[in-house]
Amino acid sequence: MQETAVPPVPPTPPVSLAALLSRDDLGLRQIAGPAAADVTIHGAHTSEMSDPYPYLLGGDLLLTAGVHIPDAAADSGTYFDGYVSRVVAAGGAALGFGVAPVHDTVPESLVAACEAYGLPLVEVPPRTTFSGVARAVWQLMAQARLAELRRISEAQQGLAVAASRPDPVPSVLRRLAGRLEGRAVLFGPEGTEIAAAGREPGAQVRGALAQLARFVSGHASSTATDTVAGTRLAAYALGTGRGFVLGVAAPHREPGDHTIASVAAVLLSLLTGEHQSGTGAARSSALVRLLLGARREEVAPLLGGGEGEAAVTRWYVVHARPNTGTPDAVSAAALGAALGSPLVDAADDVVRVLVPAAPPTEGGAGSGPAAQPGWTLGVSAPVAPAEWPAADAQAARALARARATRAPLVRHADRPAFADLVPAGEAEAHARALLAPVADVPALAETLRAWLSLHGSWDRTAVALSVHRNTVRQRIARCAAVLGADLDDPDVRMELWFALRHLWG
C-alpha cells in the first residue's frame, strides 16, 4: 500500500503529554518513547482497529486495550512493528495501552517497537477508563484555549495603550517584542530598518528576516514565515500600500502569537499611514490650535484629508455601539477606517467618529455614513464645524433611538417644522417656564424626552436609557405629577416635545 502524506494536526490548542501524566486521578505512566515534556497532543481517540491509520487526524493520543492483537503476535515483533509504524505515519502523538481487561501487562514487543519509532507509550491502569483519559485531554485543551484567549486580550490592550503614547511606533514595537520575547522590526519601503525593539538576533537571523520582509513587500502574499537557526521568523505587510513591513523574530512560537502580531500590524498600518500622508501632523496641529483658543471652523480644514484633497466644509458626527461586548481601541479604529475617518474617540461603551461629508452627488445630496456589520449607529445631520456640539447631541439621540428600535442605523432628520414658525426667543422662554419643574432633575428630563420620542413605549425607553421599564413608569408618573399635566393627552405631549426640542435640541 502506498504511503500518503501525514495529515496536519487539527487547529486546536495542543496540551503537553506531561500535563496529562501529572494528573494523579488518572495514574498514567510512560514506559517508552521521548520525554513527555517534549510531546504535545491535540486530542484523544480510542480504536481497536489493527490499522488505525485512516481514523486518526494527527496529533492524537491513541488509546487501545490491545483487542486487535492476534494471539500469535503477542510475543512477535513483526506485528507491533507494522502497527506502530502506521500510527506514526498517521501523525499519532502517543499511544495509550490499557492493561485490562484483555492484557495483564503491556507486551514487551510493543514497548520495543515504540522505542524504535520514537512513539511515546503510556500505560493506562485498570481503574482508569479511556473516556476518563479523553475527558482529561479535553479539559486541558479548554484550559489552554482560555489561557490563550486571555493572553491575546491582554496583549491587545497593551498594544492599544502603546499606540496612544507620544512615540507610538517604537512603543508598539517594544510591547510586541516583549510579548513574544523576541525582536520586532519595522522595515521601510526600501527594505531599510526604520525602527526596532527587543533582543538583537545573530547576523544570520537578521539577514533572513530582512529577506523575508523584502519577499512580502514584493509579492501578493501579505504574510510569510520561516525558521532560521532555531528562530521563528514572520513578516506582515502593512496595509498602507506604501511598502512598510513588520518583521518578527522569536525563539519559540506560542499559541496566539500570530494573532498578537497581526494586531500590532494593524496598529502600525494606521500609524505609518498617518506618518506617510502627513495627516497625523495636521491633526496634531489642529488639536494644538483648539487648545490655544482657535475656533473650530479655523482648524477644520486641517482635518479634511490628505494633500491635494478639497477642504471639507460639512461633517457628520456618528455615535456607535457594538452589538456585543464593549469597544476597544482596535475595534474603534477599524470602525473609523470603515467609515472613512481616523477621527475616532472611544469612551465607555460608545465610539464617536467625526466623518467628513462627501461632496453632494449630481442632482442630490450625499448619502452619509452607511450601516456597519456588528454595530448600531446614530448619525447626525451634516453640519459646519461651528455646529459640531449640536451634531454630537443629534447623534446621541439617534443612537438611543436606533438601540430602542433595534435598527442598525438611525439618522437625525433635519428639516423645517411648525415649531420653527415661533420666534426662537419666545419659544425658549415658554419652554423654560413649562419645563421648570423637571429642569433641575436630569433623570426626569432625559426620561421624558426619550419616552416622548419613542411614542410612549415603556420597553423601548427602558432599552434606550438602559434602565428597567418600571423605572421608566415611575419617572414618567413623577413628571406628570410635578408638571401637573395629563401625559395621555396628545396635545400635551406635543407641547412638551416642542419645549424639550427648543431647550435641548
Domain range list for the chain: 15-140, 164-277, 313-359+372-415, 421-504
* Domain covering 421-504, topology: Arc Repressor Mutant, subunit A (1.10.10)
CATH class of the domain comprising 164-277: alpha beta
Confidence of residue 173 (pLDDT cuts 50, 70, 90): very high
In degrees, rounded to 5, the angle at the alpha carbon of residue 156 between the alpha carbons of residues 155 and 160 is: 115
Enter the C-alpha cell of residue 15: 496540551
Cα separation, 274 vs 268, whole angstroms: 10
Cα separation, 133 vs 25, whole angstroms: 10
Enter the C-alpha cell of residue 401: 433611538
Best CATH choice for the domain 15-140 from the list 3.30.70.580, 2.60.40.640, 3.40.1390.20, 3.20.10.10: 3.40.1390.20
Cα separation, 177 vs 207, whole angstroms: 18
Give, rounded to a whole angstrom, the gap between the first and last alpha carbons of the chain.
80
Q: Which residue has the higher pLDDT, 363 or 470?
A: 470
Has residue 146 got a pLDDT over 70?
yes
Q: How many residues does the chain have?
A: 505
Asked if 32 and 121 count as a contact pair (C-beta separation under 8 A), the reply is yes
Lowest mean pLDDT: which of 62-66, 303-307, 444-448? 303-307
Cα separation, 111 vs 340, whole angstroms: 64
Has residue 7 got a pLDDT over 50?
no
Give the helix, strand, coil percentages of the chain, each rounded to 5.
Answer: 50, 15, 35
Has residue 154 got a pLDDT over 50?
yes
SS3 279: helix
Element (H, E) at 139: helix 130-163
Lowest mean pLDDT: which of 154-158, 310-314, 446-450? 310-314
Asked if 216 and 237 count as a contact pair (C-beta separation under 8 A), the reply is yes
The one-letter amino acid code at 376 reads T
> For 458-463, which contacts have Cβ atoms below 8 Å and span 24 or more sequence positions?
460/404, 460/405, 461/404, 463/403, 463/404
* Nearest in space to 353 (alpha carbons), one of 342, 368, 364: 342
Cis peptide before 385 (omega within 30 of 0): no
Asked if 487 and 461 count as a contact pair (C-beta separation under 8 A), the reply is no
State whether the Cα torsion 111-114-115-120 is positive or negative. Answer: negative
Give the residues across from 410 on adjacent strands.
Answer: 378
pTM of the model: 0.46
Average pLDDT score over the chain: 83
Has residue 215 got a pLDDT over 90?
no
Lowest mean pLDDT: which of 48-52, 163-167, 250-254, 461-465? 163-167
Has residue 343 got a pLDDT over 50?
yes
Cα separation, 176 vs 192, whole angstroms: 20
CA dist list (Å): 23 to 20, 125, 477: 6, 13, 62
Cα separation, 91 vs 7, whole angstroms: 7
What is the per-residue pLDDT across 311-332, written as a single tens digit (0 to 9) for each? 567 889 999 998 887 877 767 7
Q: Which residue has the higher pLDDT, 359 or 177?
A: 177
What share of the chain has pLDDT > 70, as a percent? 85
* Domain covering 313-359+372-415, topology: Alpha-Beta Plaits (3.30.70)
What is the per-residue pLDDT across 235-252, written as a single tens digit (0 to 9) for each? 998 875 567 889 999 988
Has residue 277 got a pLDDT over 60?
no
Lowest mean pLDDT: which of 90-99, 204-213, 237-246, 455-464? 237-246
